[in-house]
């Protein structure tokens, strides 16, 4: 299996110019991942964990020992399946979407780099390579968000994402350091085996480690307060939004917590923190999503909101459910993004939903896939979102660590979700065409085919729920989470979701007067939401401005007058010495020979008098 993993890495590394090669690389990777999956399925559940394939012993220095190795267990293979599977579909889609872009090949190579980095991240068998993958993923997303490098807003967004991610990286690196200090190893296997023996629940070291890892997870998965980069990241090309900001990268945080479930189970305090932040993020993002007008931004906020669900799930100890929702979300959110991309493509780059309308007839395939995506997102019965989301909401109440507060957050969010997702749906597809200049058209088959695949998956993936939970269970201590049945709670959720949809229907499908009326009535609220709770402004005021001021001060005083001066002086002196030395190099053989004799005499003198 080690060879298998290597060939997989090699395949993804192969960054060729052509989309075909890029796609087949990812497709091949998917097949390899699938192979690994069948291999694992053939094993007994108990034997499935902890297959570490050491590819190369890398560096050994004292206690510090690093191998280049991959971890093959249900969790990593599961993630790999999602990454390469969804990644493959999105690659195919990009062939169509990016077809007109002159920098097509650069885009494809970045996408491949991203898939590679993500695979490193999930297949790492120790924290070191986890961080390597983590940072590589950050780099790839920086490159992809800022892909339209002539667009100022895109570059700024890329920078923002990078800075936020670096905050997370710092957390991760410090966490790795603390882990190494405490456990003397960075290997998952060693650390997770030792942790329960060495520490009591909620002991300081565990809390510190879990908290630091959490900083990384929050940054990557856009949870409050490190969330502001995600909506801005929509400046990147739409397939990027689908791939990175919906299906894979942002779920890395959830993966991290699930991977370290052993540590987190020892730290219930941190778990509560995760669940709370997750729940708040869910409702927070959903409210902002209510009023945004950019179709991709709305979906971005819904992503944040759904990530909130996942964090809520892992926060209450339902790791399997979190991963399950991660999977269904990857399908339907990629579907939504790609459909939105198809709309944008058809509308020649228009992203404002107010200017769309009446696309149902013109883009039937996109319409259907968007509808399926939205239904799945709001948890319409029997779609995949229904299974995973219902399970989380019910667990929020019934699970040992759940309580009514979490449930409340989750269920209200469900209602809001219904509202905002159908708001954009009605705007874009129903009604009349609003912009007379636009000439919308259906997208080519290379784009609609991926939509159909994802739509299919979004519809049926829910039925896999039990299998997924069972498959993953060995990683999370060997038990399948209990399935809670509660018709009443389910009913409430569904009702609220339906209310949301109907509200959207009532507001946006009838006449514009009513919209205006409601908007005016709720103007202060609308303003706050539209401004995203002024978080960006807060950051700017409290962090960016003071930092700039300090930077400026340092530049003027310390840098110019202090450090620069010293550095210049040192450089000057070094150069002088250097020139003096070259004077010595006269080119005359007799001088050289004399020099040798002089050296010999000096050594002798040294020996005699030393």
Partner 1 sequence: MIPAPIVDLVSLSPVIVLSLFAMGVLILDLFIGKDKTVLVFLSLLGLFLAAVSSLAKGTGPIYSFSNSYVVDTFSIFLTFVFAISSALAIMLSVSYNKEQGIKIGEYYSIILFCTVGMIVLASSADLIMIFLGIEIVSISLYILAGIRRTEKRSNEAALKYFLLGAFASGFLLYGMALVYGATGTTHLKDIASVLASSEFKTSPILLMGVVLLVVGFGFKVASVPFHMWAPDVYQGSATPVTAFMSVGPKAAVFAAFFRIFVEGIPNISDYWDTILCIVAVITMFVGNLGAIIQDNMKRLLAYSSISHAGYILVALIAKNSLGMSSLLFYMLAYAFMSFGAFAIIIILDKQNGDNLEVKDYAGLGFKHPVIAVCMSIFLLSLGGLPPFAGFVGKFYIFSAAVKEGYITLVVLGVLNSAISFYYYLRVIVYMYMKEPEGDYQVQPSLAPFSLLVIGIAVFGTIELGIFPGPVISWTMN
Closest CB 208 distance from partner 1, rounded Å: 28
3-state secondary structure of 227: coil
Which one of 40-48, 290-298, 452-460, 586-594 is the stretch in contact with partner 1 (CB under 8 A)? Answer: 586-594
End-to-end CA distance of the chain: 62
Nearer to partner 1, 3 or 584 (CB): 584
**Among residues 530 and 592, whose Cβ is nearest to partner 1?**
592
- 328, 385 contact by CB (below 8 A): yes
What residues between 36 and 95 interact with partner 1 by CB under 8 A?
Answer: 56-59, 61, 68
Contact between 587 and partner 1 (CB under 8 A)?
yes
Q: Is 592 in the site for partner 1 (CB under 8 A)?
A: yes
Task: Point out which span in 141-149, 172-180, 253-261, 584-592 binds partner 1 (CB under 8 A).
Answer: 584-592
Residue count, binding to partner 1 (CB under 8 A): 31
How many angstroms separate the Cα of 130 from the Cα of each of 71, 75, 87, 169, 594?
11, 14, 20, 11, 58
N residues, the chain: 610
Q: Write down the least CB distance from residue 178 to partner 1, Å.
A: 23
Choices 72-80, 295-303, 309-317, 585-593 (CB under 8 A): range interacting with partner 1: 585-593
Shortest Å distance, C-beta 150 to partner 1: 19
> Among 171, 165, 175, which residue's Cα sits nearest to residue 126?
175
Using the minimum distance from each CB to partner 1, give the nearer residue, 38 or 578. Answer: 578
User: Is residue 523 a contact point for partner 1 (CB under 8 A)?
Assistant: no
Tell me: does residue 566 bind partner 1 (CB under 8 A): no
Binding of partner 1 by 602 (CB under 8 A): yes
Q: Nearest approach, Cβ of 475 to partner 1 (angstroms)? A: 29
Calculate the CA dihedral of residues 448, 453, 459, 464 and round it to 10 degrees. -160
598 lies in the binding site for partner 1 (CB under 8 A): yes
Q: Confirm if 11 and 25 have CB atoms less than 8 A apart.
A: yes
CA distances from 395 to 121, 186, 245, 471, 512 (A): 29, 33, 26, 19, 40
C-beta of 67: minimal distance to partner 1 in Å?
Answer: 8
Q: Which is nearer to partner 1, 58 or 542 (CB)?
A: 58
- Whether cis (ω within 30° of 0) applies to the bond prior to 225 is yes
- Judged by CB under 8 A, the residue of 3, 513, 582, 609 near partner 1 is 582
- DSSP state letters, 374-407: HHHHHT-TTSHHHHHHHHHHHHHHHSTT--HHHH
By the 10 Å C-beta count (0-12 exposed, 13-18 middle, 19+ buried), 522 is classed as middle
Q: Which one of the spans 22-30, 146-154, 308-316, 578-586 is the region binding partner 1 (CB under 8 A)?
A: 578-586
DSSP 280-342: HHHHHHHHHHTT--BHHHHHHHHHHHHHHHHHHHHHTT-HHHHHHHHHHHHHHHHHHHHHHHH
Which structure tokens are listed for 11? Answer: 């395949």
Give the nearer residue to partner 1 in terms of CB position, either 43 or 59: 59
- Name the residue nearer to partner 1 (CB basis): 488 or 607: 607
203 binds partner 1 (CB under 8 A): no
When the beta carbons of 56 and 269 are compared against partner 1, the nearer one is 56
Regarding 581 and contact with partner 1 (CB under 8 A), the answer is: yes
In 1-102, the DSSP E strands lie at 51-61, 64-72
Q: Using CA atoms, how far apart are residues 608 and 592, in angstroms rounded to an integer?
A: 24
Contacts with partner 1, residue ranges (CB under 8 A): 56-59, 61, 68, 574-575, 577-579, 581-582, 584-585, 587, 589, 591-593, 595-596, 598-600, 602-604, 606-607, 610
């Amino acid at each position: 299996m080690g060879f298998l993993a290597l060939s997989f890495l090699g395949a993804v590394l192969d960054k060729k110019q052509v989309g075909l090669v890029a796609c087949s690389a990812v497709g091949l990777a998917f097949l390899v991942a699938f192979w690994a999956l069948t291999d694992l399925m053939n094993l007994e559940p108990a034997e499935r964990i902890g297959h570490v394939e050491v590819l190369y012993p890398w560096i050994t220095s004292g206690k510090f020992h690093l191998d280049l190795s991959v971890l093959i267990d249900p969790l990593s293979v599961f993630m790999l399946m999602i990454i390469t599977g969804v990644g493959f579909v999105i690659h195919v889609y990009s062939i169509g979407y990016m077809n007109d872009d002159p920098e097509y090949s650069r885009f494809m190579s970045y996408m491949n780099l991203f898939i590679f980095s993500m695979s490193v991240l999930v297949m790492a068998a120790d924290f070191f390579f986890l961080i390597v993958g983590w940072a590589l993923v950050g780099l790839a997303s920086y490159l992809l968000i800022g892909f339209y490098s002539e667009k100022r807003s895109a570059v700024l967004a890329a920078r923002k994402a990078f800075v936020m991610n670096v905050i997370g990286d710092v957390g991760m690196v410090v966490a790795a350091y603390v882990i190494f200090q405490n456990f003397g190893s960075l290997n998952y296997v060693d650390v997770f085996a030792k942790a329960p023996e060495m520490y009591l629940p909620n002991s300081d070291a565990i809390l510190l480690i879990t908290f630091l890892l959490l900083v990384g997870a929050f940054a990557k998965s856009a949870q409050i307060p490190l969330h502001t980069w995600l909506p801005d990241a929509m400046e990147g090309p739409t397939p990027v939004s689908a791939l990175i900001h919906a299906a894979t990268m942002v779920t890395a945080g959830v993966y991290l917590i699930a991977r370290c479930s052993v540590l987190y189970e020892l730290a219930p305090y941190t778990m509560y923190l995760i669940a709370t932040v997750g729940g708040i993020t869910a409702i927070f993002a959903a409210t902002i999503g209510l009023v945004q007008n950019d179709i991709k931004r709305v979906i971005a906020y819904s992503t944040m909101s759904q990530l909130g669900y996942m964090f809520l799930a892992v926060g209450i100890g339902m790791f399997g459910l979190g991963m399950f929702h991660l999977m269904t979300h990857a399908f339907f959110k990629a579907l939504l993004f790609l459909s939105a991309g198809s709309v944008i493509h058809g509308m020649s780059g228009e992203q404002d939903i107010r200017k769309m309308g009446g696309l149902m007839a013109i883009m039937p395939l996109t319409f259907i896939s968007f509808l399926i995506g939205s239904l799945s997102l709001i948890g319409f019965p029997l779609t995949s979102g229904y299974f995973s989301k219902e399970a989380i909401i019910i667990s929020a109440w019934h699970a040992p660590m759940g309580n009514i507060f979490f449930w409340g957050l989750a269920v209200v969010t469900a209602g809001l979700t219904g509202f905002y997702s159908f708001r954009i749906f009605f705007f874009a597809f129903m009604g009349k065409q609003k912009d007379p200049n636009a000439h919308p058209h259906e997208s080519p088959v290379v784009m609609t085919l991926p939509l159909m695949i994802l739509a299919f998956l979004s519809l049926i993936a829910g039925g896999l729920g039990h299998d997924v939970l069972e498959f993953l269970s060995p990683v999370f201590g060997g038990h399948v989470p209990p399935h809670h049945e509660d018709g009443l709670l389910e009913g409430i959720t569904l009702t609220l979701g339906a209310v949301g949809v109907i509200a959207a229907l009532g507001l946006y499908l009838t006449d514009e007067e009513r919209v205006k009326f409601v908007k005016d009535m709720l103007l202060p609220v609308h303003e706050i939401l539209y401004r995203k709770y002024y978080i960006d402004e807060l950051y700017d005021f409290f962090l960016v401005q003071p930092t700039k001021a300090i930077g400026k001060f340092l530049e003027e005083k310390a840098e110019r007058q202090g450090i620069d001066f010293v550095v210049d002086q040192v450089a000057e002196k070094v150069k002088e010495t250097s020139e003096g030395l070259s004077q010595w190099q006269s080119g005359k053989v007799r001088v050289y020979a004399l020099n040798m004799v002089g050296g010999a005499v000096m050594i002798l003198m040294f020996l005699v008098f030393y």
